[in-house]
Amino acid sequence: MVSTEAATAVMKRPYEVEDGLVRLRAGRCPACNAVYCPARLVCDGCGHRGLEEILLAPRGKIYTFTTVHQSTPEFQTPYHLCYVDFDEQVRVMLPAAGEERPRIGEDVEIVLGTGPRLVGTEPEEGPHALMVAGSATGRGEEDV
């Protein structure tokens, strides 16, 4: 069997908080620098086995977004979702905090919030929901 490091990483909390900034845990290929979030066992690009764990920047840019009005029974609608691009050249889907509609190109930071999930329907990743908030638009810690 291959190393279980990446496997263990998946079970860990998917982020770290440093100096009040929330940073996503990801995996970088030491051979070709491809970044995966979440990490995986093997690099798809070059086949290297075993990625090194990195933390993404605490801020990214909204690539695209939507407002979800119909979802599964676990979620309280409406809620915003975004794909966020990070400087590490990786894209991550995250809910957006606050009521204001996200904008393509908007700079956002990662925050911990309640997320759109209803109480009692927590996913494996833990009690805090990762979200993004754009301070320029009024979305921020106070909204989550």
In the complex, the residues that contact other proteins under the rule CB under 8 A are 1-2, 4, 6-8, 10-11, 14, 34-36, 38, 40-45, 47, 49, 63-73, 75, 79, 81-83, 85, 89-91, 93-95, 101, 104, 115-117, 123-125, 129-130
Question: Is there binding between residue 31 and Zn ion (CB under 5 A)?
Answer: yes
Q: Please give the Cα distance from 139 to 79 (Å, whole number).
A: 13
How are beta strands 90-96 and 107-113 bridged, if at all? unpaired
Which is nearer to other proteins, 19 or 124 (by Cβ)? 124
Distances (CA, A) of 4 to 12, 52, 83: 13, 12, 29
Which is nearer to other proteins, 128 or 140 (by Cβ)? 128
How are beta strands 52-55 and 129-133 bridged, if at all? unpaired
- Which spans of this chain sit near Zn ion (rule: CB under 5 A)? 29, 31-32, 34, 43, 45-46, 48
